[in-house]
Structures are given as C-alpha cells and as structure tokens.
Amino acid sequence: MREMYRFPALVLIGLLAASPGDFAGEQAAYPTKFSPALAARGDVRQALAYVDRQFDAQVEEWIRITEIPGTSGHEQERAEYVKAELVKLDFTPETDEIGNVWVRRKGTGGGPTVVFGAHMDTVHPLDTPLTVRRDADGTLHAPGIFDNTASVANQLQALRAMREAKIETKGDLIFLFTVQEEVGLKGMYHWIETHPGVAEMLVGVDGGLGSVSYGALGIYWSRMKFSAEGAHTNNSRGQPNPVRAAAQCITGIYTVPLPRADDPVPAIYNVGGMLSGGNVVNAIPREVTFTVDLRTVDAELLQQLDAAIVAKCEAAGTEHRVTFVREWIQKSEAGGRPEQLTEQRAHPIVQTAIDVLRFLDVTLPAGREAIPSGSTDANVGVVMKIPAISVGRSRGGDQHTLQEWADIASAKIGAQQLVLLAVALAEPSGS
C-alpha cells in the first residue's frame, strides 16, 4: 500500500508569530540567512498569502503543464508555455540553442546572484498518455506529475507571488527552466558553461519535499559495443564472436569488487539494463551491445570502478578477436565523499534551506536534514564548486513510471519555500 504524506495546514499568522527563541532552538550549528523576522516582513507575508490564495490556479497549471509532452530533447511545447507565462509577468525570456528558458529578476545591488533551476523534460516517450487523474485522497496521477512539472509550476507561481508583493532583493534572481536533465543534466551544464561566473549560488528544484541535498552522485552510463564480421552458423566454428566477448565481459564486470552495501559511501553498478544484438537465429551477429550504469559520490572510486569495467571489456574483446568500443550515454561527475564536502555543508545556502523547511512545518529526518549526495541539476553546481543545493517540489512517488503520483497540498509548501529561499539568499532590499 502506498504511503501517504500529510502536512498540517499552513496558518501564516501562527507561523509568523513564532518567537526567534523557539526557532533558534531547532537550528544546527551552521550559518543561515533565514530568520522568522524575514518571513514577518509585510512584502514576504503578502507573497506567501498569494501562494495560499491562488493555490487552486497553481494546481490547474501544474496539470496543464503535465499534459504537454516533454520528452528529453523535445521540450519545445512546454518551453513555449513557460515563455508565454513569463511574458505575462513583464519579463523578456531568454533562450539558448538547446532550448533552456530563463529570466533575470534584477536586484537593487549589493547581493549575490542566485539561480533557481527546474527541468522541463520527462523520461516518458512523446506518445505516452498524459491525462492527469485527480483522486479524492488529494493526489494527482500521471507520468511526469511528480518529476518534474511540479517544480516548473512552483517556479512560475513563486515569480507571480514576488511580483504581486513587489518584493525587491539586493541580488539578482535567475529563474531557469532547463532541458535534457534526464539524459545527463545537459541543459544545466550548457547554461553554466555559457554563463561563466554568473551563478553565485544554485538551487535545483527537484526531488521529494524534505531533506536538502548538497552533494552530487556521480553517474556514468555507457554502451559497450562488440563487433566482428559475423558468420552463418554452419561456418561459425572458431570465428570471432561478439556474443561470447560480451558474455565474458558481463560476467567479468560482476567480479569487480564494490564497497559493502552498508558502507557509508556505497557504489553500485547495473549491467545489461539494455541489450541488443543480432536479428536472425542462424548467424553470429555482427554487433552486440549492452549498457552499464555506474554510480557513487566518491569521484576517485568512480574513476577506479569505471577503469576496471572497461578493462574487463577490452580483455574480452582481445581474447575473442572482436572490436570493442565504449560509447558514452551520460557522464555526470561525482561531488565527493561527505568528508570532502565539509565546506559545502557549512555554506549558508544549506542551513537556510533547512530552516525555511522547518519554518514551513516540514518534518525532516533527524540526522539527515542535509544529504551529501544528489541527482539533479544542482549536481552541476557542486561539481563546478558553486554553492549548490537541491530542494523538493512536493511529495510523491513512482517517478519514471506510468503510476507516478503526487500529493497536491504539498506543492503549496514547495512554492512558498521558493519565495522564502529567494528572499533569504538574494537578501531583501531595504533591510
């Protein structure tokens, strides 16, 4: 039975009445840029109230975006919708050659530039049925409803709320809607590389509402390809055989040792998630391929395991006299082990996000309020040494499946979280 998440109703008056002493008692010994005094400002209260008041419209937009196809590399229709909504807010959206969309909300000066990023793409093919079902238990059901259209709707609503409340920040706020996140964070990598030095902090809006991620899970996706001339079965004895090479390689990979499953810094690989080769029964195929999915946050271990896996394939290719080629599908680098991320954890961006969530009455798992891993657009910032975190958009589950679902009420907190984070990190003007 699916676990349901329930949130207490957000009563702004009660939350804003919390005393600094009450709030401080929950804080860890890390610097933060958030305080209840910031949330008690008239403009911030007005923005939070806007999200509360307009939540039904936010949900309708969330549904509308979900029902627009958006497979990685084919986000154009969703991008056009986002641009049209940004124009209504008096922005002139910018785009690039791969399809990213963004706007810059100018600050008054003297504060950092903070980038918020939500990806528009989904893993589901363009012909996937996307009609959203709304159940009486307060959930929405459709492919992509949790990952990641909730984030796109949250960012648009946060922008509307800040505009309605006439919020001004010292630093610039860039709201970025990326493409091709699901196939290697390509949109975010492209944007950061073509805008060097712009982002002083980066917030990826992705994942379940709860713990804050400040690390980066390294993910290497490879296609291992073995090829030879092929031969009819009658003439196959002693001939180079890509199947035998691939089989030996797969067996060999599973002898590459991994850290224990309960190791504080684990690693894992999956071999053969996709396999292909041959099209007739009575012949040696000319080509055989299989995929490898390798993951760990330890950058050095990632390189070591990858080298060991490739060596197994090279050896098999040599022994069976076939050509071996490794093709990259995705290459997202690792951020580092927890002990290598102490400076990142100590940056105010992390504790600020935690404190915002606590203020909004989100229960965080004790001891895991901040996680030194992650698999979102924020990974790009972590790897490039930009202070970066990822924060959740809503509660939900079964992402990347046809059974994907999301809790409706939690998306309100997701949007209000973005308002508070934006004001805290970019610093309120006139304070």
Asked whether the beta carbons of 74 and 124 are under 8 A apart, the reply is no
Query: In the 3-class helix/strand/coil scheme, how is 183-220 assigned residue by residue?
Result: HCCHHHHHHHHHCCCCCCEEEEECCECCCEECCCCEEE
Q: How many CA atoms lie within 13 A of 418 on its CB side?
A: 35
Asked whether the beta carbons of 22 and 135 are under 8 A apart, the reply is no
Burial of 2 (0-12, 13-18, 19+ CB in 10 A): exposed
pLDDT of the residue at 52: 98
- Sign (positive/negative) of CA torsion 42, 47, 52, 57? positive
Task: Quote the CA–CA distance of 241 and 160 in Å, as a whole number.
Answer: 61
pLDDT of the residue at 430: 82
pLDDT in tens, the chain (431 residues): 323 333 333 333 333 333 333 333 344 489 999 999 999 999 999 999 999 999 999 999 999 999 999 999 999 999 999 999 999 999 999 999 999 999 999 999 999 999 999 999 999 999 999 999 999 999 999 999 999 999 999 999 999 999 999 999 999 999 999 999 999 999 999 999 999 999 999 999 999 999 999 999 999 999 999 999 999 999 999 999 999 999 999 999 999 999 999 999 999 999 999 999 999 999 999 999 999 999 999 999 999 999 999 999 999 999 999 999 999 999 999 999 999 999 999 999 999 999 999 999 999 999 999 999 999 999 999 999 999 999 999 999 999 999 999 999 999 999 999 999 999 999 999 86
Q: 295 has which bridge partners?
A: 219, 268
pLDDT of the residue at 431: 61
CB atoms closer than 10 angstroms to residue 175: 26
pTM (predicted TM-score)? 0.90
How far from chain centre, in Å, is Cα 85?
A: 23
Q: 328 has which bridge partners?
A: 222
pLDDT of the residue at 17: 35
pLDDT of the residue at 150: 97
Domains belonging to the chain, first-starting first, are 12-216+336-426 (3.40.630.10), 223-332 (3.30.70.360)
Tokens of 115: 């980038």
Asked whether the beta carbons of 114 and 174 are under 8 A apart, the reply is yes
Phi-psi region of 217 (alpha: psi -120 to 50; beta: other; left: phi over 0): beta
Q: 203 has which bridge partners?
A: 116, 389
Task: Quote the CA–CA distance of 185 and 168 in Å, as a whole number.
Answer: 31
The residue type at 43: D
pLDDT of the residue at 2: 29
CA nearest neighbour of 318 among 307, 310, 308: 310
- At 148 the three-state DSSP class reads coil
